[in-house]
Amino acid sequence: MVFGGVVSYYIYGYSKFNDVINPNRKIFASKYVVIQYPPLKDVGPKFLVLSPVEYVNLTVKGWEPPKGSKGYLIEIKGYITGIPEVDLNLTMLPKYNEFTIVVGSPEVRVCSSDPESFLGSCEDRTLAVSEISIITSMLFKRYYYWDALKKGLDNESAKQYAYEETMKRKNIRYLSFLTKAKIGLEKLGNKENLCIVLMGPAEGATSNEILILRPGLIVLKGKTDGALRAEAVLIEKLLNITISS
């Protein structure tokens, strides 16, 4: 009976997942244009983040992105205060016990063995995961670096301590039944465990948007895996973190 109760509990959590990631209420959305410039030789692509007004003002003056650029119109919605940029800071900047990056559905595994069979771009998905993981790790390290300095460690030792403590708290998951159930039950994506979920074409995403759903839970949805990377870059820029050029 205990086993049956546990199964029912997780089935209940799983049933709530879609409602959690698809809130049925209208809310203000900020919009941004993220332009990915074509890569230069031996240099990764550069990104430009603009508001729609900034983009229109530039194009009216005759500006246009270099040939081969890719543009993404991205919405960001915050369901905590209703102000997306405020909610992003409220969710990304606090200290958590651990963090979880949900890289996508279990189908993402084929990227290591048969990338051609993946519904999307394995390269862009990998870069999106890497980007958001680096951002989150950087934010985590700050607290443990400061703690180490307070304990009397020197700069290099403090950096090493911060790295080790952050890696202990980093979790990588696929969007499996159990992961969905834990998100639905708020066991993932809460004030103790920051959870960031990536959903691209392989997961059925039909929009380019960043959803800050509750304290500790952010979902990135992209019609393409390139859009997911652009959304990670947008988060980086809004938090004033420098990773991509």
Query: Is residue 233 scored above 80 in pLDDT?
Result: yes
Confirm whether 82 is domain-assigned. Answer: yes
Quick one: how far is CA 103 from the chain centroid?
A: 9
pLDDT tens per residue across span 117-153: 999 999 999 999 999 999 999 999 999 999 999 999 9
Do the domain assignments include residue 99? yes
DSSP the chain: -HHHHHHHHHHHHHHHHHHHHS--S---EEEEEEEEPPPBTTBPPPEEEE-HHHHHHHHHTT--PPTT-EEEEEEEEESSSS-HHHHHHHHHSS--SEEEEE-S-GGGGGGGT-GGGSSS-HHHHHHHHHHHHHHHHHHHHHHHHHHHHHTT--HHHHHHHHHHHHHHTEEEE---HHHHHHHHTTSSSSSSEEEEEEE-GGGT--S-EEEEEETTEEEEE-SSHHHHHHHHHHHHHHTT--S--
Domain count, the chain: 1
Mean pLDDT of 210-221: 99
Domain membership of residue 106 (yes or no) is: yes
First to last CA, the chain: 56
pLDDT given for residue 243 in this prediction: 65
pTM of full prediction above 0.85? yes
Can you tell me the distance from the alpha carbon of 112 to that of 129, in angstroms, rounded to the nearest whole number? 14
User: Is residue 245 included in any domain, yes or no?
Assistant: no
Token pair in block for residue 147: 């703690």
Could you give the angle at the alpha carbon of 21 between the alpha carbons of 230 and 52, nearest 5°?
35
Residues 61-100 have pLDDT tens digits of 999 999 999 999 999 999 999 999 999 999 999 999 999 9
Spatial separation of the C-alpha atoms in residues 72 and 8, rounded to whole Å: 41
Q: Is residue 18 part of a domain?
A: yes
Range of 14's domain?
A: 2-238
User: Does residue 243 lie within any of the structural domains?
Assistant: no
Q: What is the DSSP annotation of 38-84? A: PPBTTBPPPEEEE-HHHHHHHHHTT--PPTT-EEEEEEEEESSSS-H
* Mean pLDDT rounded to a whole number for the chain: 94
Has residue 244 been placed in a domain?
A: no
- Asked if the structure places residue 10 within a domain, the reply is yes
Percent of the chain with pLDDT over 70: 96
